[in-house]
Structure 1
């Protein structure tokens, strides 16, 4: 009995440590008071309603959605062919390419943001929105390559070869045989990239400018001047959105098979 009690206790403590802050934020978002506090001062949904009334939140949410969807789509457009080449061909520097593609994950986001600001935006005068788009695409690309590569590795190559032997071109075999069979992996990569891009802070912090902010950066700026529970309410809504997306991906795509 004691041998089971210890691991169960550790599991409970770890789970409480991981999800405890989430419940605190949710409780603080339902406070009736005028300042962010826990335990909540009464219960009310007024701060949840206020989230939709703040214009800067609406604008930055639209920007974050644009970057997350556009950046992830661009990363997949680059990552799918790259994954195919790495999975199907013995390239001379294949492992080196894999390492280079993974660098945006390995290198801290603050360094990536500072480097892009110093060597891309400042010297070449890049538009802030374009710089953010390129940065988010680069950050999501490693996830696209890894997830799609995992899906391709689980697909037998002789199925594609059979299509070629039956008269299909390489491109035709790819679009008619390979793509339909790795569709779940591509969708999983898109969802993972979307969530990663949408919640990105360090890189966006360096590349945001006047009138161009992502939602996480706008929330940081809002808290510098206002300390009401609306930020907690928005955080809770975003957390529920992310949890819902990942839950649906796991339910219908088997998300854990790819990540």
Structure 2
């Protein structure tokens, strides 16, 4: 009897710990009060509406969208050939390369951001937007390589060999046989990279500058000046956007098979 009660109780506490902060933020975003507080003071949609009127939010959203889409595409352009080479050929030092590619995940983002700022951006005079683009591409690259590699591992190599025997070139076989059969993994890698880049904070914090800030960094700066529920409203919208993207990916791509 005790075991039957303990298991669901433990599960409920874990879910409360994980979902509790999200519920608080969502509730606070519908507050009618003038300051961010919980429990909310009344009910209103005014802070949801205000999010769309703040000019800095619109600009930083555009920057984050550009970095998320552009950085993910660049990471896939680099990561797909790398994953293919490591999956199909016995390359010398392949494990070392695999480890090096994984470093942006292993190393804390604050360290990566500080190192890029001190030893790359400042000495070379790299523009802020270009520095952010390169940094986000580097951060997404490990996810692209890992997800595409998992998709390639489930693809029979003899399909490609059959295409070559029938007269296709290696590049033709890759384009006509391999890519169509791993498109689910590529789309999963794109979605994972997009969400990771869009919500990136530590590296963006070091590399953002005057006039060029990502949305999470702009939200941090906004909270230093204003403490109204609009930040909770924007956080809720972003959370629902991320959840919606992941749910759609799971529904149509089987997202959990690749990550």
- Which residue pairs with 2:111 in the alignment? 111
- Which residue pairs with 2:82 in the alignment? 82
- Which residue pairs with 2:93 in the alignment? 93
- Which residue pairs with 2:146 in the alignment? 146
- Which residue pairs with 2:216 in the alignment? 216
1:96-175 alignment runs, 5 A limit: 96-175=96-175
1:176-215 alignment runs, 5 A limit: 176-215=176-215
- For residues 66 and 169 of structure 1, the distance between their equivalents in structure 2, rounded to whole angstroms, comes to 35
- Which residue pairs with 1:35 in the alignment? 35
- For residues 157 and 71 of structure 1, the distance between their equivalents in structure 2, rounded to whole angstroms, comes to 29
- For residues 8 and 159 of structure 1, the distance between their equivalents in structure 2, rounded to whole angstroms, comes to 47
Q: How far apart are 1:24 and its partner, in Å?
A: 0.3
Q: How far apart are 1:2 and its partner, in Å?
A: 2.6
- 4+ residue runs of structure 1 moved beyond 3 angstroms? none
- Which residue pairs with 2:4 in the alignment? 4
- For residues 78 and 9 of structure 1, the distance between their equivalents in structure 2, rounded to whole angstroms, comes to 46
- For residues 18 and 28 of structure 1, the distance between their equivalents in structure 2, rounded to whole angstroms, comes to 17
Q: How far apart are 1:4 and its partner, in Å?
A: 2.5
Q: Report how many aligned residue pairs link the two structures.
A: 259
Question: What 5-or-longer segments of structure 2 have no aligned partner?
Answer: none
- For residues 239 and 225 of structure 1, the distance between their equivalents in structure 2, rounded to whole angstroms, comes to 23
- For residues 163 and 143 of structure 1, the distance between their equivalents in structure 2, rounded to whole angstroms, comes to 29
- For residues 180 and 15 of structure 1, the distance between their equivalents in structure 2, rounded to whole angstroms, comes to 39
Q: How far apart are 1:6 and its partner, in Å?
A: 1.5
Asked if 1:241 is matched to 2:241, the reply is yes
Q: How far apart are 1:223 and its partner, in Å?
A: 0.2
- For residues 134 and 92 of structure 1, the distance between their equivalents in structure 2, rounded to whole angstroms, comes to 27
Question: What 5-or-longer segments of structure 1 have no aligned partner?
Answer: none
What is the Cα-based RMSD across aligned positions, in Å? 0.5
- For residues 77 and 231 of structure 1, the distance between their equivalents in structure 2, rounded to whole angstroms, comes to 35
With the length of structure 2 as denominator, give the TM-score of the two structures.
0.99
- For residues 64 and 7 of structure 2, the distance between their equivalents in structure 1, rounded to whole angstroms, comes to 41
With the length of structure 1 as denominator, give the TM-score of the two structures.
0.99
